[in-house]
Each structure stands twice: as structure tokens, then as C-alpha cells.
Amino acid sequence: MDDRTNTIAGWVLAGCAAALGLSIASGMVFHSGPPEKPGYPVEGAAEAGGGAAAAVPIATLLATADVAKGAEVFKKCAACHTVNQGGANGIGPNLWGVLGKKHGHIPGFAYSSALTGIPGNWDFDSMNAWLTSPRKYAPGTKMTFAGLGSAEDRANVIAYLNSQGSNLPLPAAPAAGAEAAPAEAEGNVAEGAPANTADVVNAATPASGAPSVDPAAAEQAAKKGQ
């Protein structure tokens, strides 16, 4: 009898433990609340948002670029490229005088068709785009470097590359406040307009043959009449 009672008590305890475990598990599944950010993240969506800061034109950054700092940044490229005149090609081509040259500027170097197929020459804008992301600039390129995330670093290294055999004139930076000029012009017109109807009347040209009236004299005459 005692053995049967113990057996029944054991089954009852086991059932209670199982029920408790199921209760805790279901609570974790159904009562944990909604996710903090519902949905799935889309690559690039955050960058395309309205709150993203507008990119500063490379011409503006080049105006204050530091060649010495660019030489330091270029050390990240030195494992694959030389930049001195007559330097040997490495994993990548020698970059002496690269700005102003066509894509694929070293004859005989094994460039990818993805790069040589891009029309035009290496200018400041194209070099900036390339250094930002080689894979985006030339999809299928052999270049494995991920790119430079800092716009200032890119401007500095471009200035350095330009000093190594290219020496192209720097592009003119966009005029500060150029976009605001039309609005300022409109504001000046508004500021120059008469403030009220009385001013409009006083500013109007007298009719042909009608004597002009001095507003100050008219005011004094009105006071005497009072």
C-alpha cells in the first residue's frame, strides 16, 4: 500500500512539474511582447532616409586637403601599389601620374575588363567614387580593397596622388550659399517694397501737370488747421 501511494505521489509531482514547465515556456513564447523593430532590415534603407546628411562635394574637400596626411592614408594601399616614378607594378599597377589617365593606364597590366570597360579618364570625381567603393564603381573588379569610408581621407589621398606625377589643377569648389542667392534676391525685393498703402501713395509719381506735395509740409499745415 505504501509503495502504491508513493508511486501515485510521484506521478502527481511529475505532472505538476510538467505543467509548470509548459506554463513557463508558453509564457515566454506568447507574452514576450512584440519585437522592438517589426519587419526585416533592408540593406541601404537607412542610408536613403531623409535624415541622412548630404555628401560634401569632393571639390570642396580638395580645397583644404592635406598632401602629407594623404601620404599616410596611402600606406593602406602600399601593399599592392607603388606610386613613385618608374616604380614596379605589384598586385596592383604603379600609380605615378594616374590622375588624368584612362582607366587601365599601364600598358600590359592585367586589369579587369570591369575597370577597363569604364569610359573616360581618372578625374577627381571618378577617383573619389573608386576609393569610396571599388566594387560599386566597377562591379566585377579584381580590386579587393573595401574602400575608404572617410571623405576627408579620400580627399587627402587624392591630393597626394595628384602630387605624384599628375599635378592637375584642382576643381573649383562650389560657391558657398549659391543656392540661397535666388531666395536672398527675393528677400531684397520684399524689403525694398513700400511697407503700407500710405507709402505706396506717397511713393507714386504725381500725375502729369499735378503739383507734387511735400508730406512734411502737408502735415504741418494740417496741425495749424487744427
Residue 193 lies in a domain: no
**What backbone torsions phi and psi does residue 121 show, to the nearest 5 degrees?**
-110, 170
Residue 143 lies in a domain: yes
Q: Which whole number is the average pLDDT over 110-139? A: 96
pLDDT tens across 70-85, in order? Answer: 999 999 999 999 999 9
Residue 86 lies in a domain: yes
Say what the pTM is: 0.57
**Percentage of the chain modeled with pLDDT above 70:** 54
Residue 25 lies in a domain: no
Domain that holds residue 150: 58-163
Please report the pLDDT score of residue 162 as a whole number: 97
Would you say 114 and 130 are in contact if contact means Cβ atoms under 8 Å apart? no
Residue 6 lies in a domain: no
> 3-class SS at 99?
coil
Please report the pLDDT score of residue 26 as a whole number: 55
Query: 88-97: which pairs have CB atoms within 8 A and are 24 or more residues apart?
Result: 92/143, 95/161, 95/164, 96/164, 96/165, 97/164, 97/165, 97/166
CATH number, position 117 = 1.10.760.10
Please report the pLDDT score of residue 2 as a whole number: 60
Q: Give residues with Cβ within 8 angstroms of 27, minimum separation 6.
A: none
Residue 122 lies in a domain: yes
pLDDT tens across 203-216, in order? Answer: 444 444 444 555 56
Residue 42 lies in a domain: no
- Which is higher by pLDDT, 22 or 192? 22
Domain count, the chain: 1
Residue 62 lies in a domain: yes
